[in-house]
């Protein structure tokens, strides 16, 4: 308190309100590599870092005419507030989209949202109290980890291999956490063409994972933005199709149409969906009527299934280019070979640190996302996520060649100094090792 009785702000030079934030705001830390990504977005840099869909492959004119038609015929609705649950005809069409993956839901249980990211946030808001535990794959989607952190949850990563979550590891993680008296709120999983790991949960493991969750009374949050973007085999039927009461399913038009519309959805068990609608109304009143109507018009008039085939062809060619280039330029590394989606997960020798290496990579005009972004507990230093969705196959080859220059340079340096003492090697961090028992 100052002598004139006016309270002094206890902030700092950069932010006078620093001391006033809620505790949960501490979870909103910007990633350490964000500044570098600003540099990485320069045109001369091949960015294998982002997850931007290749929207240039869309039928531009058809989308323009969908927008025009919406404005001419339903302008008054498009420009107005709408229902918190979303526009009924779009929710009906969403059922058709989900039917491809074996889901037979009721239109009453579909809630549209501002991207599936918002649906994810709403589910987290409904279920997480500070200190609760969320189970997630090892590694997991950076955008989900950010949400869980902002609601002050602790994430327990469950070991994952090329067939997705390992059922035995899930059993052990649950038992260990229960032994510590921890409260597990849900399993967050991306079963198809995982971001960032590029793997798909096998059909055999799906019922087992659901049974483990059911017998432990753990809700499943299935996040499936990439499910329809397969290369060879379609993904196995959705988890939601096997257990309608135990799974909240999240879907999105961001990858099968365009993220700019910001239209995603949740299909919730009936008991949960009312709370979800109330949470959505309290957050945003209603999702964009205009966007929902344009997406609905597109689904009604365009060959959307054919467009998804076009996307699959584009991404397949780019994935092949990336995997071939890795084989040619970096044969000493390990990587996943996805059957769909946008991402390859690369594992380097233990002594390499992808975060420390990133500035050198950007200097060589290539960018990637360091593996640590996809763990809540600091693991992932010797891994990285490479995206093939946006750059052309030629650019991908150039990018991998540049990456090889950086990685081989690092390895040469380590070789030169090996055994001489002064060089500090980062601790090794296996991406599949068991979660630490001292989860905070």
Ligand X SMILES: Cc1ncc(COP(=O)(O)O)c(C=O)c1O
Instruction: Specify the residue, 263 or 362, whose C-beta has the smaller distance to ligand X.
Output: 263
Does the footprint of ligand X cover residue 117 (CB under 6 A)?
A: yes
Residue 336 binds to ligand X (criterion: CB under 6 A): no
Q: Does 288 bind ligand X (CB under 6 A)?
A: no
3-state secondary structure of 127: helix
- 196-206 burial, b at 16+ Cβ within 10 Å, e below that, comes to bbbbbbbeebb
Least separation in angstroms between residue 295's CB and ligand X is 12
Which of 115, 139, 167, 191 is in the footprint of ligand X by CB under 6 A? 115
Q: Residue from 190, 235, 299, 361 that binds ligand X (CB under 6 A)?
A: 190
Give the count of beta carbons closer than 10 Å to the beta carbon of residue 418. Answer: 11
**Phi, psi values for residue 179, rounded to 5°:** -60, -30
Q: Minimum distance from CB of 412 to ligand X (Å)?
A: 35
Confirm or reject binding of residue 141 to ligand X (CB under 6 A). yes
Q: How far apart are CA 195 and CA 107, in angstroms?
A: 28
Cα–Cα distance list, 234 to 137, 145, 207, 228, 240 (Å)? 21, 27, 18, 7, 16
Question: Reading across the β-sheet that carries 247-252, which strands appear in turn?
Answer: 110-114, 263-267, 247-252, 219-223, 184-189, 133-137, 154-158
Stretch of 5-13, 114-122, 394-402, 408-416 contacting ligand X, by CB under 6 A: 114-122
- Nearer of residues 160 and 254 to ligand X, judged by Cβ: 254
**Closer to ligand X by Cβ: residue 295 or 396:** 295
Q: How far is the CB of 404 from ligand X (least distance, A)?
A: 27
264 binds ligand X (CB under 6 A): yes
Q: Is 252 in the site for ligand X (CB under 6 A)?
A: yes
C-beta closer to ligand X: residue 134 or 352: 134
Secondary structure (3-state) at 345: strand
For residue 247, the surrounding DSSP H or E stretch is strand 247-252
Among 195, 241, 296, 369, the residue binding ligand X under the rule CB under 6 A is 195
Contact status: 254 vs ligand X (CB under 6 A): yes
The site that binds ligand X (CB under 6 A) totals a number of residues, namely: 14
Q: CB nearer to ligand X: give 249 or 329.
A: 249
Dist. CA 99–CA 94, nearest whole Å: 9
Residue of 222, 223, 243, 410 interacting with ligand X (CB under 6 A): 223
Establish if 167 lies at the interface with ligand X (CB under 6 A). Answer: no
The closest of 286, 250, 292 to 93, measured between CA atoms, is 292
Check binding of 339 to ligand X (CB under 6 A): no
Cβ-proximal residues to 388 (8 Å cutoff; 6+ apart), any chain = 48, 315, 318, 319, 321, 322, 342, 343, 344, 396
Residue 229 Cβ vs ligand X, minimum distance, rounded to whole Å? 11
- Min CB(336)–ligand X separation in Å: 15
Residue 142 Cβ, how far from ligand X at the closest point, in Å?
Answer: 9
Smallest gap, in angstroms, from Cβ of residue 341 to ligand X?
8
DSSP 281-312: HHHHSS--HHHHHHHHHHHHHS-HHHHHHHHH
**Closest CB to ligand X among 109 and 114?**
114
Residues 299, 247: Cα–Cα separation, whole Å: 26
Q: Assess contact for 13 and 335: CB atoms under 8 A.
A: no
Under rule CB under 6 A, residue 116 binds ligand X: yes
Task: Select from 130, 147, 120 the least CA-distant residue to 280.
Answer: 120
Which of these ranges, 252-260, 315-323, 393-401, 410-418, lies near ligand X under the rule CB under 6 A? 252-260
48-87 residues near ligand X, rule: CB under 6 A? 51
Residue 259 binds ligand X (CB under 6 A): yes
* Comparison of 264 and 435: residue with beta carbon closer to ligand X: 264
252 vs 406, which CB is nearer to ligand X?
A: 252
Q: Show the CA angle centred on residue 69, arms to residues 63 and 71, nearest 5°.
A: 105
Query: Which one-letter DSSP state was computed for residue 340?
Result: B
**By CB under 6 A, residue 225 contacts ligand X:** yes
Identify whether the C-beta of residue 256 lies closer than 8 Å to the C-beta of residue 228: yes
Shortest approach of ligand X to residue 223 CB, angstroms?
5
- The reply to whether 143 sits near ligand X by the rule CB under 6 A is yes
DSSP codes of every residue in 205-233: HHHHHHHHHHHTT-EEEEE-SSTT-BSSS
Tell me: does residue 138 bind ligand X (CB under 6 A).
Answer: no
Query: Under a CB-based contact definition with an 8 Å cutoff, are residues 425 and 414 in contact?
Result: yes
**Interface residues toward ligand X, by CB under 6 A:** 51, 115-117, 141, 143, 190, 195, 223, 225, 252, 254, 259, 264
């Amino acid at each position: 308190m100052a002598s004139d009785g006016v309270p002094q702000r206890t902030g700092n030079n950069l932010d006078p309100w620093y001391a006033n934030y809620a505790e949960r705001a501490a979870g909103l830390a910007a990633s350490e590599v964000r500044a570098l990504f600003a540099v990485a977005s320069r045109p001369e840099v091949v960015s294998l870092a982002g997850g931007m869909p290749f929207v240039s492959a869309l039928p531009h004119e058809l989308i323009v005419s969908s927008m025009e038609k919406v404005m001419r015929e339903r302008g008054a609705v498009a420009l107005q507030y709408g229902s918190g649950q979303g526009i009924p005809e779009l929710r009906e069409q969403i059922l058709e989209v989900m039917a491809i993956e074996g889901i037979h839901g009721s239109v009453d249980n579909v809630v549209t949202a501002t991207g599936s990211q918002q649906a994810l946030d709403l589910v987290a808001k409904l279920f997480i109290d500070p200190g609760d535990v969320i189970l997630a794959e090892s590694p997991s989607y950076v955008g989900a980890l950010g949400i869980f952190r902002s609601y002050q949850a602790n994430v327990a990563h469950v070991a994952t291999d090329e067939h997705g979550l390992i059922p035995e590891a899930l059993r052990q993680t649950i038992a260990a956490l229960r032994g510590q008296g921890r409260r597990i709120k849900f399993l967050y999983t991306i079963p198809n063409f995982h971001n960032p790991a590029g793997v798909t949960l096998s059909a055999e493991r799906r019922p087992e994972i659901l049974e483990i969750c059911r017998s432990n009374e753990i809700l499943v949050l299935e996040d499936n933005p990439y499910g329809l973007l397969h290369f060879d085999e379609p993904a196995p039927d959705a988890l939601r199709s096997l257990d309608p009461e135990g799974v909240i399913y999240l879907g999105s038009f961001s990858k099968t149409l365009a993220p700019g519309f910001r239209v995603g959805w949740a299909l919730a068990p009936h008991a949960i969906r009312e709370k979800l609608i109330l949470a959505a109304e309290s957050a945003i009143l209603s999702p964009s009527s205009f966007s929902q109507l344009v997406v609905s018009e597109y689904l009604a008039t365009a060959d959307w299934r054919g467009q998804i085939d076009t996307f699959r062809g584009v991404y397949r060619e780019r994935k092949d280019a990336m995997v071939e280039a890795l084989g040619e330029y970096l044969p000493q590394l390990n990587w996943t070979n996805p059957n769909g989606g946008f991402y390859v997960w690369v594992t380097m020798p233990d002594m390499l640190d992808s975060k420390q290496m990133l500035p050198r990579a950007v200097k060589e005009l290539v960018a990637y996302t360091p593996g640590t972004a996809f763990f809540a507990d600091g693991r992932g230093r010797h891994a990285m996520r490479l995206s093939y969705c946006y750059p052309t196959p030629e650019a991908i080859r150039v990018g991998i060649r540049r990456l090889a220059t950086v990685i081989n340079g690092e390895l040469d340096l380590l070789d030169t100094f090996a055994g001489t003492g002064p060089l500090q090697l980062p601790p090794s961090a296996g991406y599949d090792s068991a979660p630490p028992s001292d989860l905070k």
